[in-house]
Amino acid sequence: MQPGSMDKAEFVAMFGDVFEHSPWIASQAWESGLDVRHDKAAGLHRVFADVINAANREQKLSLLQAHPELAVGIASAEELTAASQTEQRGAGLDRCSAGEFAEFQRLNESYRARFGFPFIMAVKGYGRHEILDAFRARLTNTEEQELQAALDQVILIGLFRIESKFE
């Protein structure tokens, strides 16, 4: 795969789903000018991160709001992208006890009310107990701290998804 030599339509078709419902990021990444440095996951990830970091506040909030809540339950699971379903299953979020599921729902509601977007965490390599601990801790952040923490997590999720496309 050589993203640096793809035309825009091909590039967006391949990478437009890296960030939840936000193909504009792939479009802007392509428009920034890709070359052989972007034919490896790390180089391509850097340009995606640059696009996100350069976005205005409204675009950043829109990106965050496009993400699903964690441990949403079976009824809402069909709303998740395939990548989100796989990531959440990998962290065991589909196997929450009734008490854990209730706590996730309570935390999701509190978090969204406080920050205006869902709690976002790159869950790869974490179990549900560790995710709950991080969830509780991040609820104490200021709005600006959490905006940056959530964006950092989105960028990390993007790295994992780009790497999987290169495998």
* Separation of alpha carbons 150 and 128, rounded Å: 18
pLDDT of residue 79: 64
User: Active-site residue numbers?
Assistant: 67
Q: Could you tell me which residues come within 8 angstroms of residue 19 by beta carbon, excluding any fewer than 6 positions away?
A: 25, 26, 48, 52, 63, 66, 154, 157, 158
Q: Residue 101 CB: number of other CB atoms within 10 A?
A: 17
For the residues 117-122, what does the mean pLDDT come to?
95
Q: Does a structural domain hold residue 16?
A: no
Residue 16 C-alpha from the chain's centroid: 13
Q: Does a structural domain hold residue 120?
A: yes
Q: Does a structural domain hold residue 90?
A: yes
Percent of the chain residues topping a pLDDT of 90: 78
Per-residue pLDDT tens for 17-45? Answer: 999 999 999 999 999 999 999 999 999 99
* Mean pLDDT, the chain, integer: 91
For the residues 37-66, what does the mean pLDDT come to?
96
Q: Does a structural domain hold residue 98?
A: yes
Q: Does a structural domain hold residue 103?
A: yes
Cα-trace Rg, the chain: 16
pTM: 0.88
Q: Does a structural domain hold residue 4?
A: no
Q: How many domains does the chain have?
A: 1
pLDDT of residue 87: 78
Provide the pLDDT confidence category of residue 82 given band limits of 50, 70 and 90.
Answer: confident
Q: Does a structural domain hold residue 27?
A: no
What CATH number has the domain bearing residue 113? 1.10.3330.10
pLDDT of residue 106: 95
Give the CB-side neighbour count of residue 39, counting CA atoms within 13 A: 8
Range of the domain at 86: 69-143
